[in-house]
Amino acid sequence: MRDIATKSNTKEIIERHGFTFKKSFGQNFLTDTNILNKIVNAADLTDEVGVIEIGPGIGALTEFIARKAKKVVAYEIDPRLIPILAETLAPYDNVKVIHQDILKADVASMIEEEFKDVKEIAVVANLPYYITTPILMGLIEKKLPIDRYVTMMQKEVAERLSAKPGSKDYNALSIAVQYYTEAKIALTVPKTVFIPAPNVDSAVVHLTRREQPAVEVINEDFFMEVVHGAFKQRRKTLQNNLNQHFADLTKEEVTAILEEAGILPNRRGESLSIEEFAKLSNTFYQHLNK
């Protein structure tokens, strides 16, 4: 069986269907079977795993997933790709394509319906780069029974997701993702293996869902609010950023809360570990809800 993902096959399929790339959908098709093998291997797929794919394109990655997994459910937003996928994925009876925007989909109901007989669920996808964060955070924050995410994205975003405190890439997104998952970069991918080539290099991130969140917080929404407040202006100190965010509190009150949490007011958000953010948010929460 010929792989969809060679450069010549990809071009032939695109030309035969008169397909043109739409920038608004962030379409970049992978044309390297070696990279596809690496992605699927990183996802640790077996015939007991159900896979959710987002943005299958013409089915290059879908095909490799289908060969290893029990079942694949792929969400595709572009109506022009639905008949192409029906043709390219015809040999695989364990693939279901849903023509829908993943950001609007009821993924929880789909999981209940389609993945009754799987032991694990994974998201494996080459994500559209312009909405990587909303897609990932949307799925993670819903606390769906997804065991791991192996997703291709812009290298810069991948570095943020897996960043450690004190590094230039560490920000609110790093903490939000690492609160729910363990994050690492599985591989980096050059721009030359796509049609059309994107303007940036890519990386595949492996996120493993934690049984329990990384830290214990009184209120998750408030924890995230404190984190975002602390990173509001990267060059500013925690004192300044949090005073600006919690405008109802005096400078002295914010100083006292920081000191009670054991954090120096002149530190910056990027220097705090997730454990320190938890302590800070819990102290703030207790102060505001006296």
Residues making up the binding site for S-adenosyl-L-methionine: 28, 30, 55, 76, 101, 126
Secondary structure of residue 150 in the 3-state scheme: strand
Q: Nearest-CA neighbor of 186 among 202, 164, 206?
A: 206
CA torsion angle 256 285 134 190 (round to 10):
40
What token pair was written down for 182? 């363990």
Q: Nearest-CA neighbor of 180 among 148, 150, 154, 222?
A: 148
Reading phi first (left if > 0) and then psi (alpha if -120 to 50, else beta), residue 26 is in left
Sequence ranges of the binding site: 28, 30, 55, 76, 101, 126
Residue 215 has a CB neighbour count (10 Å cut-off) of 18
Q: Nearest-CA neighbor of 50 among 91, 139, 111, 92?
A: 111
Distances, alpha carbon 178 to alpha carbons 162, 195, 278, 290, in Å: 8, 32, 13, 30
Q: In Å, how far from its chain's centre is CA 250?
A: 37
